[in-house]
Amino acid sequence: MIGAPTPTGRGGEPPRPGRWLALGVLVLAVLLVAVDATVLGLATPYLSADLEPTGTQLLWIGDSYSFVLAGLLISMGSLGDRIGRKRLLLIGATAFGLVSVLNAYAQTPEMMIVARALLGVAGATLMPSTLALIRNLFHDPRERSLAIGIWSAAASAGMALGPIVGGALLEYFWWGSVFLINLPVMALLVLVGARTLPESRNPAPGPWDLPSVLLSLVGMVGVVYAIKEAAADGPGWPVLAAGLLGAAGLTLFVRRQRQLPAPLVDVRLFRNRGFSGAVLADLLTILGLSGLLFFLSQYLQLVQDRGPMEAGVAELPAAAGAVVAGLIAGATARRFSVRAVVSGGLAVIGLALATLTVISQSTGYPLLGAVLLVVGFGAGLSFTVTADIILTAVPREQAGAASAVSETAYELGAALGIALLGSVVTNVYRDFTGPAGTPEAAHESLGGAVVAAAHLPADTATALLAAARDSFVDGMNLAAGVGATLLLLTAAVAWFLLRDQELTDEPVQH
């Protein structure tokens, strides 16, 4: 920002020197997490062929990371407020890189699920720290909005970089190599971040309450697990028990936060309609998107026979749309209104998803590319503005906890989306009627059908793949319809909850 004016920040504070370089380091952390999330979907067909997971295990591989991350985000955001956000970020980045090695060399589906869960523990330290540090680096509201837009755009760029780099690796190496790309990014983040990032923490944080940490984890994982299993296999006593345990954990967590003099998260924040509306919009948006997008890479590779590199490039429009939207979202919300930008973005996503209800095995790329571009643009508008609302609703001493609430909504939505919409796809897929002699493994996942077909006579294999692909696409059509409906409803809810909300042009006083 050479030559830009030097506004004073909160309470007349001068702008922090080197803040844009420090933002670049935080962008690396966002890229680290975004790349990891996108390469998994691209590597799923190869992972399925090697580890041979069941359909349920495949879903667990996809969402165990999000389950654990969602359960720990609030705790880790509060921990960063206490021990220092820079310190927690650097510790988390180191752990993230090391655990990536365990993911790369997993030998069984069970080991892969555990490795993904451990990666969630490390990931929980990264995202709240990055957004909280932005809140403390940028005191000027307009600079902060731009910084949040760049942060959001970086996440989208990671979505694009992951499939392309991952696709190139999968062309020449085994599937585990897609996790090893985390190592150089982690090393660069730690080395540069140690020198450029300022430390920030709550000056009077109070103790880190371990019972609250456990209640948060039990509550989140219990509720999400119950929803996932109910969607996959129907209600039953184990599902009911998990749901009751999770609900009890969350109830006790909220009650304990009200009683503590220094809670992990101030639950009174949810009395703020703008804060609650932004959090709810994030959760429902990701829920509507993630379950469907989890299967998109499989559709491009296993249904349309695209190579991994081609599939990665094919997903690029979504990231491109989100990058552009992230950079203009703050200015657009100030010119029009917060609710117009957020609700409009969500409605655009919903309408784009609705077009996916009519795709088939032979759908041409122009339609898919256009849908992805529109989805990315709408998501970039919504997420950038809601992140700004959430951050400015709290004193900056509590920025870590507020950021963690935002990221918890995101990750919880991702876990629920994969669980619910993923289960829609899986349940529709399992009911296909294959030719005589179809192995049972072919009904577990489309990847399993591709592996099974390789060991069958040519005519039988062709019939099996045609039936399996038709059923998989039918499942995606239904999931797209559910996702579109949810996004349109979320747009209406956001329009109501975010009325009168504005992005402040004055430093927030607390």
> Do 143 and 249 fall into the same domain?
no
Q: Is the pLDDT of residue 2 over 50?
A: no
Average pLDDT in the chain: 79
Q: Does residue 9 belong to any structural domain of this protein?
A: no
Mean pLDDT score, 385-412:
72
Mean pLDDT score, 333-359:
90
Q: Is the pLDDT of residue 46 over 60?
A: yes
> Do 389 and 415 fall into the same domain?
yes
pLDDT single digits (tens) 108-161: 888 889 898 898 888 888 777 777 778 777 777 777 777 877 777 776 666 656
Q: Does residue 57 belong to any structural domain of this protein?
A: yes
pLDDT single digits (tens) 411-470: 677 667 777 787 788 888 888 887 877 777 777 778 778 778 877 888 888 888 888 889
pLDDT at 415: 65
Mean pLDDT score, 167-173:
76
Q: Is the pLDDT of residue 488 over 90?
A: yes
pLDDT at 259: 86
- CA 96-107-228 angle, to 5 degrees, is 70
pLDDT at 489: 92
What is the number of structural domains in the chain?
2
Who has greater pLDDT, 509 or 75?
75
Which residue range(s) make up the domain with 248? 209-263
Q: Is the pLDDT of residue 3 over 50?
A: no
pLDDT at 6: 38
> Do 239 and 337 fall into the same domain?
no
- Percentage above 70 pLDDT, the chain: 84
Q: Is the pLDDT of residue 83 over 90?
A: no
Helix (H) or strand (E) holding 494: helix 458-497
Q: Is the pLDDT of residue 170 over 80?
A: no
Q: Does residue 439 belong to any structural domain of this protein?
A: yes
Helix (H) or strand (E) holding 439: none
Who has greater pLDDT, 233 or 430?
430
Sign of CA dihedral 392, 393, 398, 401: negative
Q: Is the pLDDT of residue 266 over 90?
A: no
With bands split at pLDDT 50, 70 and 90, how would you rate the model's confidence at 510?
A: very low
> Do 332 and 461 fall into the same domain?
yes
> Do 227 and 138 fall into the same domain?
no
pLDDT at 507: 44
Q: Does residue 475 belong to any structural domain of this protein?
A: yes
Highest mean pLDDT among 13-22, 161-170, 461-470: 461-470
> Do 167 and 254 fall into the same domain?
no
pLDDT at 54: 78
Gap between the Cα atoms of 338 and 357, Å rounded: 30
> Do 367 and 474 fall into the same domain?
yes
pLDDT single digits (tens) 308-319: 677 777 877 887
With bands split at pLDDT 50, 70 and 90, how would you rate the model's confidence at 399?
A: low
Q: Is the pLDDT of residue 347 over 90?
A: yes
pLDDT at 11: 44
With bands split at pLDDT 50, 70 and 90, how would you rate the model's confidence at 7?
A: very low
Q: Does residue 193 belong to any structural domain of this protein?
A: yes
Last residue of a domain, one of 248, 263, 278: 263
Contact 187, 29 (CB under 8 A): no
Gap between the Cα atoms of 474 and 472, Å rounded: 5
Nearest-CA neighbor of 377 among 346, 399, 412? 346
Residues recorded for the chain:
510
**How far are the Cα atoms of 226, 372, 447 from residue 233, in angstroms, in the given order?**
10, 31, 20
> Do 216 and 193 fall into the same domain?
no
pLDDT at 204: 67
> Do 230 and 290 fall into the same domain?
no
**How far are the Cα atoms of 131, 155, 342, 499 from residue 148, in angstroms, in the given order?**
8, 11, 15, 22
Last residue of a domain, one of 244, 263, 282: 263
Whether pTM > 0.85 for this model: the answer is no
With bands split at pLDDT 50, 70 and 90, how would you rate the model's confidence at 248?
A: very high
**Per-residue buried b or exposed e for 3-42, using 16+ beta carbons within 10 Å of the residue's own CB:** eeeeeebbeeeebeeebbebbebbbbbbbbbbbbbbbbbb
pLDDT at 504: 62
pLDDT at 265: 75
Nearest-CA neighbor of 151 among 19, 30, 320? 30
Last residue of a domain, one of 263, 290, 307: 263
Q: Does residue 503 belong to any structural domain of this protein?
A: no
pLDDT at 293: 66
With bands split at pLDDT 50, 70 and 90, how would you rate the model's confidence at 400?
A: low
pLDDT single digits (tens) 193-214: 787 777 776 666 677 788 888 8
With bands split at pLDDT 50, 70 and 90, how would you rate the model's confidence at 4?
A: very low
Residues 6 or more apart from 9 whose CB is under 8 A from it? 15, 16, 138, 139, 140, 507
pLDDT at 38: 62
pLDDT at 15: 65
> Do 147 and 284 fall into the same domain?
yes
Who has greater pLDDT, 379 or 266?
379
Q: Does residue 154 belong to any structural domain of this protein?
A: yes
> Do 220 and 116 fall into the same domain?
no
Contact 6, 15 (CB under 8 A): yes
Which CATH number belongs to the domain containing residue 412 in this structure? 1.20.1250.20
> Do 230 and 274 fall into the same domain?
no
